[in-house]
């Protein structure tokens, strides 16, 4: 049974198979067809909806999400808002009124998704008013594609929404809504979300503590773990594979905490990127900068750091950064917890050190102290919402003018995210000048044999990785003037 609220009304949907998406539930079961399907892979944003979650202070906090790749069972204890739920009778919500007045819609297919992204932006502005900078606009709309209107009028609509009367949807009048949703959320912590036997096939369990998660993993070794589903769900929408036995890690208390220690931060595997943004901004600015280039707001609101690492894609964005930082991983499972270095986690293409029944519990990020520096540069065909062709993450410190503890990690250059051991050795203990970097570059070309694919040829990848190393030299080489020239590029940090 999925017990949730849709546009202010309680919904109880029984016999929903585990691999049903929110979009399918809306369109096929509930007859709510305002939310559109474009790509069914999280790329176009046509299916954008808003998810209201209890914020622990008696309110609901809304974020955008792609309904096409969100498991319907994850709606339990949430308030789902769709484009049908924004107007108050004939009075349009400011997001809708501004889109109409700015002529920001033509064929209209992308419009419901864009309106929902503007709705969450508007909600955010209402709770925490702040200037609508270019960066915030890009972040709010970067996950929505429009093929006929052009973005200028859509941007205008975003900028002028605040000038409209603040028409609230009717459901916003209900003083009990947040409490009612929260009560369902509490229920969700004690009742496993399991499909009725004999009706729908399979399981969708949402354990809330690590002991239950361990037990479920032991009981059902063939089950799949799901967190934000932003990778996993593509197996059903793109490859049409069934996902019949799922265990959701997003409610497991131990996987959702962030613990600060003098040495660094233990981050629960199910913490989303959106939640990590403030921590990255304060302690790892280069990592925070990467987040602007990581997928879209819809994806970052749901995708987890643990999912990115466990997915073990050679072009995942965070593994090279974690390799450069010497992160540690806490794995857990039937045999209890164990800790390993991230460098020992990736074994071969999509193969990890996780044993049967194990899961990723938390990740440890050491602090950047003792003048340790971090640079992260991502190259992709498109700036917004695109996967890397090559990503370089570089960490080092300077001691008496020499580079120490040099870590050069790359994504997109091998079957696994990998450090360039020979290039690192060429820089270790050297002054950051042309001679050391020339040797490092030659070593880099020797130690990687990247593949050619749609994102880049072997030659492009080698050249690009070498150029990232050269960019690092230009940032560090005191003979090079002016330093700023290297960093002026919009993508650099
Ligand atoms: C449109 C789009 C754009 C994207 N852009 C980027 C991008 O720019 N950069 C990038 O790196 N990625 C990108 N991705 C991929 C994806 O968003 C990330 O890899 C994300 O971090 C996956 O996290 P998740 O929580 O959604 O994982 P899920 O999809 O839920 O799970 C991914 C895999 O990890 C396993 N898993 C999840 N949690 C655990 C755990 N705790 N222990 C063990 N196994 C676990 C699952 O079983 C599954 O095999 C994009 C995806 C889409 C759809
Ligand atoms: S349909 Fe394209 S993002 Fe969902
Ligand atoms: S209005 Fe047609 S795709 Fe945007």
Show the tokens assigned to 473. 């030299």
- At 480 the pLDDT is 60
- At 194 the pLDDT is 47
Residue 365 pLDDT exceeds 70: yes
19/418 Cα distance (integer angstroms) = 33
CATH for 380-491 (3.40.50.620, 3.30.390.50, 3.30.2130.10, 3.40.50.800)? 3.30.390.50
- At 122 the pLDDT is 96
463/166 Cα distance (integer angstroms) = 52
In contact, 23 and 47? CB cutoff 8 Å: yes
Pocket test for ligand 2, best of 21, 26, 41 (most atoms within 8 A of CB): 41
| Sequence-distant (≥ 6) Cβ neighbours of residue 11 within 8 angstroms | 2, 3, 4, 5, 30
Average pLDDT over residues 312-333: 97
In contact, 483 and 475? CB cutoff 8 Å: yes
Confidence category of residue 127, pLDDT binned at 50, 70, 90: confident
Give the three-class secondary structure for 206.
Answer: coil
Give the three-class secondary structure for 91.
Answer: strand
42/23 Cα distance (integer angstroms) = 11
Residue 200 pLDDT exceeds 70: no
CA 323 to chain CA centroid, Å, is 18
Residue 370 pLDDT exceeds 90: no
17/71 Cα distance (integer angstroms) = 10
26/122 Cα distance (integer angstroms) = 23
Measured from the Cα of 108, ligand 3's closest atom is 1
492/469 Cα distance (integer angstroms) = 13
Strands 2-6 and 79-81: parallel
- At 344 the pLDDT is 98
The Å distance, Cα 107 to ligand 3 centre, comes to 5
Average pLDDT over residues 45-65: 95
pLDDT tens, 62-92? Answer: 999 999 999 999 999 999 999 999 999 999 9
- At 211 the pLDDT is 96
Measured from the Cα of 39, ligand 2's closest atom is 2
The Å distance, Cα 110 to ligand 2 centre, comes to 10
Of all ligands present, the nearest one to the C-alpha of 299 is 1
Residue 490 pLDDT exceeds 60: no
Of all ligands present, the nearest one to the C-alpha of 24 is 2
The Å distance, Cα 154 to ligand 1 centre, comes to 29
In contact, 111 and 99? CB cutoff 8 Å: yes
What's the Rg (C-alpha) of the chain?
Answer: 23
Average pLDDT over residues 415-432: 97
H helices within 161-249, ranges in order?
Answer: 177-190, 210-219, 234-237
Measured from the Cα of 43, ligand 2's closest atom is 3
306/426 Cα distance (integer angstroms) = 32
The rounded percent of the chain whose pLDDT value lies above 70 is: 94
Q: Whose CA is nearest to atom 28 of ligand 1?
A: 229
170/5 Cα distance (integer angstroms) = 14
For the chain, what's the residue count?
Answer: 493
Q: What phi and psi, each to the nearest 5 degrees, are found at residue 143?
A: -100, 15
In contact, 211 and 254? CB cutoff 8 Å: no
DSSP assignment, residue 191? S
Q: Whose CA is nearest to atom 2 of ligand 3?
A: 107
The Å distance, Cα 300 to ligand 2 centre, comes to 15
Average pLDDT over residues 376-390: 91
Q: What global pTM score does this model have? A: 0.95
140/142 Cα distance (integer angstroms) = 6
50/6 Cα distance (integer angstroms) = 10
Residue 351 pLDDT exceeds 50: yes
The Å distance, Cα 310 to ligand 3 centre, comes to 36
pLDDT tens, 106-117? Answer: 999 999 999 999
- At 192 the pLDDT is 46
276 compared with 190, residue with greater pLDDT:
276
Q: What phi and psi, each to the nearest 5 degrees, are found at residue 331?
A: -100, 155
Q: Where are the domains of the chain?
A: 1-185, 380-491
Do domains 1-185 and 380-491 share one topology? The answer is: no
Which position has the token pair 């033509």? 106
pLDDT tens, 238-292? Answer: 999 999 999 999 999 999 999 999 999 999 999 999 999 999 999 999 999 999 9
The Å distance, Cα 145 to ligand 3 centre, comes to 8
Pocket test for ligand 1, best of 234, 257, 268, 310 (most atoms within 8 A of CB): 310
- At 187 the pLDDT is 62
In contact, 230 and 302? CB cutoff 8 Å: yes
Which CATH code for domain 1-185? 3.10.20.30
Q: What is the mean pLDDT of the chain?
A: 93
Nearest to residue 70, comparing CAs of 194, 232, 182, 213?
A: 232
491/209 Cα distance (integer angstroms) = 40
Give the three-class secondary structure for 380.
Answer: coil
Beta carbon of 225 within 6 Å of any ligand 1 atom: yes
- At 198 the pLDDT is 47
H helices within 49-192, ranges in order?
Answer: 94-101, 111-127, 134-141, 151-160, 177-190
In contact, 48 and 296? CB cutoff 8 Å: no
Confidence category of residue 488, pLDDT binned at 50, 70, 90: very low
Beta carbon of 312 within 6 Å of any ligand 1 atom: no
Pocket test for ligand 3, best of 102, 108, 113 (most atoms within 8 A of CB): 108
Residue 217 pLDDT exceeds 90: yes
- Report in angstroms the alpha-carbon separations of 485 from 238, 471, 488: 43, 10, 6
- At 376 the pLDDT is 96
359/326 Cα distance (integer angstroms) = 20
The Å distance, Cα 45 to ligand 2 centre, comes to 5
| Sequence-distant (≥ 6) Cβ neighbours of residue 261 within 8 angstroms | none
Average pLDDT over residues 347-356: 96
**331 DSSP β-pair partners:** 338, 360
The rounded percent of the chain whose pLDDT value lies above 90 is: 88
In contact, 377 and 492? CB cutoff 8 Å: yes
451/389 Cα distance (integer angstroms) = 11
Confidence category of residue 477, pLDDT binned at 50, 70, 90: confident
Beta strands in 322-372 (DSSP E): 328-332, 338-341, 346-348, 351-352, 359-366
Average pLDDT over residues 387-391: 95
Of all ligands present, the nearest one to the C-alpha of 66 is 2
Nearest to residue 308, comparing CAs of 261, 280, 342?
A: 342
Pocket test for ligand 1, best of 139, 230, 319 (most atoms within 8 A of CB): 230
């Amino acid at each position: 049974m999925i017990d949730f609220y849709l546009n202010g009304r309680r919904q109880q949907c029984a016999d929903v198979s585990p691999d049903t998406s929110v979009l399918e539930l809306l369109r096929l079961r509930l007859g709510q067809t305002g939310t559109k399907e474009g790509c069914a892979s999280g790329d176009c944003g046509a299916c954008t909806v808003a998810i209201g979650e209890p914020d622990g202070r008696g309110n609901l906090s809304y974020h955008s999400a792609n309904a096409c790749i969100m498991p319907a069972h994850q709606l339990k204890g949430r308030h789902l808002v769709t484009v049908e739920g924004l107007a108050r009778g004939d009075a349009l919500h400011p997001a809708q009124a501004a889109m109409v007045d700015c002529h920001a819609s033509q064929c209209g297919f992308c419009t419901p998704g864009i309106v929902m992204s503007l709705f969450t932006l508007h909600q955010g502005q209402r709770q925490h008013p702040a200037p609508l900078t270019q960066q915030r606009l890009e972040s709010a709309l970067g996950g929505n594609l429009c093929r006929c209107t052009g973005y200028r009028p859509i941007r205008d609509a975003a900028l002028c929404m605040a000038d409209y009367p603040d028409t609230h949807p009717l459901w916003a009048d209900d003083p009990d809504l947040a409490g009612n949703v929260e009560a369902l959320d509490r229920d969700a912590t004690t009742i496993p979300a399991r499909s009725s036997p004999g009706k729908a096939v399979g399981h969708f369990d949402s354990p809330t503590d690590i002991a239950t998660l361990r037990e479920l993993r032991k009981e059902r070794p063939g089950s799949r773990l799901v967190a934000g589903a932003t990778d996993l769900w593509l197996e059903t929408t793109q490859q049409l594979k069934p996902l019949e036995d799922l265990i959701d890690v997003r409610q497991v208390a131990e996987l959702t905490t962030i613990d600060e220690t003098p040495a660094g931060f233990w981050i629960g595997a199910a913490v989303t990127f959106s939640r990590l943004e403030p921590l990255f901004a304060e302690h790892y600015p280069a990592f925070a900068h990467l987040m602007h280039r990581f997928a879209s707001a819809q994806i970052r609101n749901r995708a987890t750091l643990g999912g990115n690492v466990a997915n073990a894609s050679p072009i995942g964005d965070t593994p090279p950064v974690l390799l450069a930082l010497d992160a540690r991983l806490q794995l857990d499972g039937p045999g209890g917890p164990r800790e390993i270095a991230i460098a020992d986690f990736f074994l071969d293409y999509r193969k990890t050190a996780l044993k049967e029944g194990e899961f990723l519990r938390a990740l440890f990020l050491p602090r950047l102290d003792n003048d340790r520096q971090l640079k992260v540069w991502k190259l992709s065909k498109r700036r917004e919402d695109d996967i890397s062709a090559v990503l370089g993450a570089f960490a080092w410190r300077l001691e008496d003018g020499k580079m120490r503890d040099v870590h050069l990690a790359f994504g997109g250059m091998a079957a696994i995210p990998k450090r360039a051991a020979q290039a690192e050795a060429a820089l270790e203990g050297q002054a950051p000048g042309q001679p050391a970097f020339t040797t490092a570059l030659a070593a880099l070309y020797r130690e990687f044999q990247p593949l050619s694919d749609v994102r880049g040829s072997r030659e492009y990848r080698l050249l690009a990785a070498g150029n990232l190393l050269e960019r690092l030299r230009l940032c560090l080489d005191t003979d090079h003037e002016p330093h700023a020239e290297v960093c002026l590029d919009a993508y650099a940090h």
